[in-house]
Amino acid sequence: MSTEQSTEQHILTMTREFDAPRELVFEAWMDPDQLTKWFGPVEVEAPRDKIIVEPRVGGIWQVVMTWTEDGEAKEGPIEAVITALEPPALLVATAKGGPESGSEVLEMRLEFEDLGGRTRLHLTQGPFDTTEWMEMTREGWGTSFTKLDGVLA
Protein backbone atom coordinates (compact mmCIF):
# COMPACT_ATOMS: atom_id res chain seq x y z
CA MET A 1 0.00 0.00 0.00
CA SER A 2 1.39 3.39 -0.92
CA THR A 3 0.33 6.84 0.09
CA GLU A 4 0.87 9.87 -2.05
CA GLN A 5 1.38 13.35 -0.71
CA SER A 6 0.77 16.36 -2.85
CA THR A 7 3.70 18.72 -3.20
CA GLU A 8 1.38 21.42 -4.52
CA GLN A 9 1.28 24.45 -2.28
CA HIS A 10 -1.56 26.93 -2.10
CA ILE A 11 -1.32 30.66 -1.47
CA LEU A 12 -4.32 32.49 -0.06
CA THR A 13 -4.98 35.95 -1.46
CA MET A 14 -7.78 38.23 -0.33
CA THR A 15 -8.66 41.87 -0.83
CA ARG A 16 -11.03 43.76 1.45
CA GLU A 17 -11.96 47.43 1.64
CA PHE A 18 -12.58 49.17 4.96
CA ASP A 19 -14.39 52.45 5.50
CA ALA A 20 -11.57 53.89 7.59
CA PRO A 21 -8.24 55.65 6.95
CA ARG A 22 -5.22 53.45 6.34
CA GLU A 23 -3.55 54.52 9.60
CA LEU A 24 -6.53 53.30 11.63
CA VAL A 25 -6.77 49.97 9.82
CA PHE A 26 -3.03 49.40 10.25
CA GLU A 27 -3.24 50.28 13.94
CA ALA A 28 -6.01 47.70 14.41
CA TRP A 29 -3.40 45.04 13.52
CA MET A 30 -0.73 46.43 15.83
CA ASP A 31 -2.72 47.39 18.95
CA PRO A 32 -3.52 44.44 21.26
CA ASP A 33 -6.49 46.33 22.72
CA GLN A 34 -8.04 46.42 19.26
CA LEU A 35 -6.93 42.92 18.16
CA THR A 36 -8.78 41.40 21.10
CA LYS A 37 -12.05 42.90 19.79
CA TRP A 38 -11.94 41.51 16.24
CA PHE A 39 -9.31 38.85 15.64
CA GLY A 40 -10.56 35.35 14.96
CA PRO A 41 -13.55 33.73 13.28
CA VAL A 42 -17.06 33.97 14.68
CA GLU A 43 -17.39 32.25 18.08
CA VAL A 44 -13.62 32.50 18.59
CA GLU A 45 -12.07 34.94 21.05
CA ALA A 46 -8.61 36.48 21.28
CA PRO A 47 -8.12 37.23 24.99
CA ARG A 48 -6.15 40.45 25.56
CA ASP A 49 -3.76 38.75 28.01
CA LYS A 50 -2.74 36.29 25.25
CA ILE A 51 -1.76 38.93 22.68
CA ILE A 52 1.78 40.24 22.25
CA VAL A 53 2.77 42.74 19.59
CA GLU A 54 6.29 44.14 19.39
CA PRO A 55 6.01 46.62 16.46
CA ARG A 56 9.48 46.24 14.95
CA VAL A 57 11.27 43.96 12.52
CA GLY A 58 12.22 40.91 14.57
CA GLY A 59 9.41 41.60 17.04
CA ILE A 60 6.76 39.14 18.12
CA TRP A 61 3.22 39.23 16.71
CA GLN A 62 1.30 36.69 18.77
CA VAL A 63 -2.43 36.04 19.17
CA VAL A 64 -3.91 33.02 20.93
CA MET A 65 -7.44 32.25 19.79
CA THR A 66 -9.72 30.43 22.23
CA TRP A 67 -13.03 28.61 21.74
CA THR A 68 -15.12 25.76 23.12
CA GLU A 69 -15.62 22.59 21.10
CA ASP A 70 -17.76 19.73 22.38
CA GLY A 71 -17.66 21.29 25.85
CA GLU A 72 -13.86 21.40 25.86
CA ALA A 73 -11.77 24.58 25.94
CA LYS A 74 -9.43 24.85 22.92
CA GLU A 75 -6.59 27.19 21.98
CA GLY A 76 -5.06 28.05 18.64
CA PRO A 77 -1.87 30.05 19.00
CA ILE A 78 -0.41 32.14 16.20
CA GLU A 79 3.21 32.84 17.07
CA ALA A 80 4.79 34.98 14.38
CA VAL A 81 7.87 37.13 13.94
CA ILE A 82 7.59 40.42 12.09
CA THR A 83 9.89 40.26 9.07
CA ALA A 84 8.93 43.55 7.38
CA LEU A 85 7.22 46.61 8.80
CA GLU A 86 6.49 49.89 7.01
CA PRO A 87 3.70 51.67 8.94
CA PRO A 88 1.01 52.23 7.78
CA ALA A 89 1.59 50.46 4.45
CA LEU A 90 3.03 47.00 5.12
CA LEU A 91 3.17 44.24 7.72
CA VAL A 92 4.80 40.90 6.99
CA ALA A 93 5.07 38.18 9.62
CA THR A 94 6.22 34.59 9.48
CA ALA A 95 4.70 31.97 11.76
CA LYS A 96 5.42 28.37 12.43
CA GLY A 97 2.76 26.31 10.73
CA GLY A 98 1.51 23.19 12.33
CA PRO A 99 0.22 19.77 11.48
CA GLU A 100 -3.23 21.24 10.94
CA SER A 101 -2.02 23.73 8.31
CA GLY A 102 0.13 21.19 6.50
CA SER A 103 2.99 23.70 6.30
CA GLU A 104 6.07 24.19 8.42
CA VAL A 105 6.19 27.95 7.87
CA LEU A 106 3.37 30.33 6.93
CA GLU A 107 3.96 33.88 5.80
CA MET A 108 1.29 36.56 6.21
CA ARG A 109 1.74 39.68 4.07
CA LEU A 110 -0.61 42.63 4.60
CA GLU A 111 -0.50 45.60 2.24
CA PHE A 112 -2.60 48.62 3.23
CA GLU A 113 -3.57 50.80 0.25
CA ASP A 114 -4.73 54.38 0.91
CA LEU A 115 -7.98 55.15 -0.91
CA GLY A 116 -8.41 58.70 0.40
CA GLY A 117 -10.15 58.03 3.71
CA ARG A 118 -10.83 54.37 2.94
CA THR A 119 -8.38 51.47 2.92
CA ARG A 120 -7.92 48.49 0.64
CA LEU A 121 -6.21 45.60 2.42
CA HIS A 122 -4.39 43.01 0.33
CA LEU A 123 -3.70 39.83 2.31
CA THR A 124 -1.42 37.06 1.07
CA GLN A 125 -0.82 34.02 3.26
CA GLY A 126 0.76 30.63 2.80
CA PRO A 127 1.89 28.28 1.58
CA PHE A 128 -0.80 25.81 2.58
CA ASP A 129 -0.41 22.19 1.52
CA THR A 130 -4.14 21.64 1.08
CA THR A 131 -6.90 23.61 -0.57
CA GLU A 132 -9.16 22.64 2.35
CA TRP A 133 -6.96 24.34 4.96
CA MET A 134 -6.53 27.39 2.73
CA GLU A 135 -10.32 27.73 2.30
CA MET A 136 -10.94 27.32 6.04
CA THR A 137 -8.44 30.12 6.61
CA ARG A 138 -10.21 32.27 3.99
CA GLU A 139 -13.53 31.79 5.82
CA GLY A 140 -11.91 32.69 9.14
CA TRP A 141 -10.41 35.89 7.74
CA GLY A 142 -13.75 36.79 6.17
CA THR A 143 -15.59 36.69 9.51
CA SER A 144 -12.66 38.39 11.27
CA PHE A 145 -12.80 41.24 8.75
CA THR A 146 -16.53 41.62 9.34
CA LYS A 147 -15.77 42.01 13.06
CA LEU A 148 -13.00 44.49 12.17
CA ASP A 149 -15.53 46.56 10.20
CA GLY A 150 -17.47 46.95 13.46
CA VAL A 151 -14.40 47.99 15.44
CA LEU A 152 -13.47 50.60 12.84
CA ALA A 153 -17.01 52.05 12.61
Q: Which CATH class is domain 12-152?
A: alpha beta
Angle among Cα 27, 44, 126 to the nearest 5 degrees reads 65
Q: Determine contact, residues 63/49, Cβ cutoff 8 Å.
A: no
Domains in the chain: boundaries: 12-152
pLDDT tens, the chain, 153 aa long: 333 444 457 899 999 999 999 999 999 999 999 999 999 998 999 999 999 999 999 999 999 999 999 999 999 899 999 999 999 999 999 997 655 555 578 999 999 999 999 999 999 999 988 899 899 999 999 999 999 999 999
Q: What is the dihedral of CA 130, 134, 135, 139, to 10 degrees?
A: 150
